[in-house]
Amino acid sequence: MSLVEISNLNAWYGDKHVLKNINLEIPRNIIFAIMGPSGCGKSTLLRAMNRLLELNPNAKVSGQVKIDGIDVYSDKIDITWVRRQFGMVFQIPNPFPHLSIYDNVAIGPRMNGLVKNKSELDQLVKWALEKAYLWDEVKNDLKKPASMLSGGQQQRLCIARALALKPKIILMDEPTANLDPVAASKIEELMLELKEDYTIVIVTHNPQQAARVSDYVAFLYMGELIEVGETSQVFTRPVHKLTERYVVGKIG
């Protein structure tokens, strides 16, 4: 069974139909890229998975998203549980600026009651920061505010914050779009490392990035899923004309 199964997913903002009948399966322990030009619905698709889309009062969703076979849109489900299954990293690094580096990572497990005591929390924070390749850079500054970190460090802190909840999958919404090339390549390396233990879905408007990091790729265009497959396949022998034009840079 795939980790995530999306079937007949539609989304609207008001009257605007932004996701049109999406069907998609995301296997385990891979990097799955969703690429497409700006405004094609990639970020919406990501937010439809963890139901963050519902923060927008104009958004409406129909269809099914299953994680490990559980429908996240079922009436009986606890939405906070759903969101904890998906760690999320955003386009603009968004650590809580008033909280310390430590607290940014600790806040999720602490407020969700996932740890029993302080030492368990300390261990979890250390583990998450190590996983995000940040521990060595911040281990002496854990009490300092997150706002003192560089953009790339802040983004890795956000990855640590997501990991600390022990999610089943990590959603990344253009995680390198606001970083310089060095910081961006660090995040890409980190993703390849994390793939050992996690499934990562990355949204990107940059086909080169999708080609570099992903195992599977889906091409989204104007709310429709045009093509999906193994990355090497899609980039070398695209089935659809639109995909071919996109990967060679003619649209987007």
Partner 1 sequence: MNRRRLEEKIMLGVISLLAIISAIPIFAIIINIYSEGLKYVSLSFLIDFPPPPISGGAGGIGPALVGSLILIGLATVIGGAIGFFTGLYLSEYSHTKLAQYTQMFLQIMVEFPTIIIGLFAYSVLVAPLKRFNAFAGAFALSIVIIPYIALNVREAYKSIPYTLKEAAFSLGLSYPKVYLRVLLSTAKRGVLTALLIGMAKAGGETAPLLLTILGTTFTYFEGLDQPINAIPLLIYNFALSPYERWHQVAWGASAVLLTIILTIFIISRLVVKEVKI
Residues that bind partner 1 in the complex, under the rule CB under 8 A: 50, 52, 55, 57-58, 80-84, 86-88, 90-92, 94-99, 107-108, 111-112, 147, 158, 161-162, 165
Nearer to partner 1, 158 or 187 (CB): 158
For residue 62, the cross-strand partners are 10
Nearer to partner 1, 84 or 186 (CB): 84
Nearer to partner 1, 62 or 147 (CB): 147
Task: Give min distance, CB of 170 to partner 1, in A.
Answer: 11
Alpha-carbon dihedral angle through residues 244, 249, 251, 252, given to the nearest 10 degrees: 120
Task: Give min distance, CB of 233 to partner 1, in A.
Answer: 32
Q: How many CB atoms lie within 10 A of CB 193?
A: 13
Given a contact cutoff of 8 angstroms between Cβ atoms, the answer to whether 3 and 49 are in contact is no
Given a contact cutoff of 8 angstroms between Cβ atoms, the answer to whether 193 and 169 are in contact is no
Given a contact cutoff of 8 angstroms between Cβ atoms, the answer to whether 25 and 6 are in contact is yes
Task: Give min distance, CB of 92 to partner 1, in A.
Answer: 5
User: What 3-state class would DSSP assign to 23?
Assistant: strand
Task: Give min distance, CB of 21 to partner 1, in A.
Answer: 26
Q: What is the DSSP secondary-structure string of 82-139?
A: HHHHEEEE-SS----TTSBHHHHHHHHHHHTT--SSHHHHHHHHHHHHHHTT-HHHHT
Sorted by sequence, the CB contacts under 8 Å of residue 82 that are 6+ apart come out as 50, 51, 67, 72
Strand order in the sheet with 4-13: 16-26, 4-13, 59-67, 70-71
Q: Which of 181, 190, 234 is nearest to 36 (CA)?
A: 234
Nearer to partner 1, 50 or 204 (CB): 50
Task: Give min distance, CB of 228 to partner 1, in A.
Answer: 25
Nearer to partner 1, 153 or 243 (CB): 153
Nearer to partner 1, 58 or 140 (CB): 58
Nearer to partner 1, 120 or 230 (CB): 120
Task: Give min distance, CB of 121 to partner 1, in A.
Answer: 15
Task: Give min distance, CB of 91 to partner 1, in A.
Answer: 8
Tokens representing 51 are 């139901």
